[in-house]
Structure 1
């Protein structure tokens, strides 16, 4: 029995390790936010911003903090910060308390094995979606953030 299950387990692990590409469908998923509340991301999402670095996360947070309440919801958008490289003690003592002060929701990736999102050094990854299907993937700077929501 195990002999038959191992190839299936291996194949599913390999598939999960591949980053999303244009035309892939993102199945609904859940991540914890900065308040440790699980939030679901579904097919209604049109924009997905993903940050992998402290600096790019700070840029997105600065931009979003200046927007009106409900800005991400209004634009059918979500912001994800991959904090898997941060030591847990730093996360708990400093990062999460700071994130809880932001007026917008930040979904968090804690698992370093979560490689479904593409990254480029010094950039925020922007996924444009239509009914859960990735239409475009771009890597943006803080100067480009305002145009994303126009």
Structure 2
């Protein structure tokens, strides 16, 4: 399944963002129904599955989230009924904003590595750096 996801950008003619690429503005809603437009300077931290989302939520439940950070969760693969009845209600318990990305084609343009969180450093609408985080220890070192 993950192999198919890696090939899907090629099949849909989408290219993953790379350092130096411009970021397309996108409007996302949080788990608290607040709308955000992403393009400004800062860090996008992207979780791709239940495990990486849980790691992010655990970390930011215990640590203050930097102002310039946006947590984005790929929700495009979750069936709508499961998302509406189970996933979203559990996300509402978190005080930090979790931006929900339902657009599968857009999500395929975001850099991805299996079982890792993606950090995109954005400056003046360009990707300046991409980092992949595999565990909470690496996440703690990144945000010290």
> Structure 2-normalised TM-score?
0.83
Query: Which of 43, 48, 52 is 1:52 aligned to?
Result: 48
Scaled by the length of structure 1, the TM-score of the pair is 0.80
Report what 2:73 is aligned to: 81
Distance, in Å, in 1 between the alignment partners of 2:142 and 2:124 is 18
Mapped to 2, the partners of 1:64 and 1:47 lie a distance apart of: 14
> How far off is 1:67 after superposition?
1.7
Matched, 1:100 2:97: no
Q: Per-residue displacement from partner, 1:26-82 (whole Å, max 9, x unpaired)? A: 1432111112332112323x21101111100100111011123xx232xx1100000
Aligned to 2:7: none
SS in 2 for 1:56: helix
Whether the 8 Å CA contact 1:27–1:43 is kept in 2: the answer is no
The aligned length equals 131
Match of 2:123 in 1: 130
Q: What is the Cα-based RMSD across aligned positions, in Å?
A: 1.6
Give CA deviations for 1:87-143 in whole Å, capped at 9, x if unaligned.
111100111011111010011111222212111111001112222221111211222
Matched, 1:37 2:34: yes
Q: Distance in 2 between matches of 1:90 and 1:29?
A: 24
Structure 1 residues not aligned, in runs of 5+ = 1-12
CA contact (8 A) 1:47 1:77 kept: yes
Q: Is the 8 A contact 1:22 1:135 kept in 2?
A: yes
- Give the Cα–Cα distance (whole angstroms) in 1 for the partners of residues 140 and 85 of structure 2: 31
3-state SS of paired residue (1:119): coil
Larger radius of gyration: 1
Q: After the TM superposition, list the runs of 4 or more consecutive aligned residues in structure 1 that deviate by more than 4 angstroms.
A: none
